[in-house]
Amino acid sequence: MKRENEIKRYDEIKNWDFDMFEIETEDLTNWDLTEILKKLSNKDSKILDLGTGGGEKVLRTFPECQEILGTDLSQEMIKTANQNLLESGRKNITFRVMDNLAMDVPEEYFDIVVARHTVTDPKQIIRCLKPGGYLLIRGVDKDDCWGLKMVFGRGQGYKDKRPISIIDYENVVNAGFKDVELVPLHQREYFKNRELFKAFLMKVPIIDDFSEEDLSQNVEKHEIEDDLLDQYISENTYDGKIRLIRRYYGITARKK
């Protein structure tokens, strides 16, 4: 039931293009997945992107190489990705539906696997990587938007005892990867007005009530209470802009 609810939610979203929200981002750490990917890849690389969404990041930021496969659990997301692919004119990229927890790809085929803000099974990932291949993970951590979650009293991983970054790190190590590195990532995001901020929160799952630690739990979707939203905005407005403190994490690992 959890996976069915997840598919339904992401089918409704259909894409992860956030340009409409006009977000100003201030990076406080210099770990950049795109730059790492460019350094590790070359024209002969084969790259797998897990949780590709509407393919926006792949089409805009992934390097030119021999082959890129983007996969997502949501059929609607993949429809969006294929439409975006047609409009982009990029070559050697394909998108298809796949469950990250039931991966259907050849063994020892990819040079790099990328997983952005999505559930992973490192034991399955390591099998599809060539020897010496790399895994790059970028995820949302427990304390992401913590001030916002405190105001609403709920949110993504709010009641979890362990950060998802530590769980992911341990899973990657236990799968047999080497040179595993975990880096906390800090950002500030600024929104121009209440309307854009609320629209953003309606799209993303930040204040939905669900566990990252226990994936068997269902996602409980809530309406956004205007009084709580206004409380947060009044306490977190700087120079006329609404500030959101983001906490992500990055993991790099290598198959020996």
User: pLDDT (tens digit, 9 = 90+) per residue, 158-188?
Assistant: 999 999 999 999 999 999 999 999 999 999 9
d(CA 204, CA 19): 14
For the question of whether the overall pTM of this predicted structure is more than 0.85, the answer is yes
pLDDT tens, residue by residue, 18-65: 889 999 999 999 999 999 999 999 999 999 999 999 999 999 999 999
d(CA 91, CA 58): 12
Instruction: Domain 2-254: give its CATH superfamily.
Output: Vaccinia Virus protein VP39 (3.40.50.150)
d(CA 183, CA 146): 19
pLDDT tens, residue by residue, 116-128: 999 999 999 999 9
Mean pLDDT, residues 187-206 = 96
Backbone angle region of 149, left / alpha / beta, with phi > 0 → left and psi within -120 to 50 → alpha:
alpha
List the chain domain ranges. 2-254
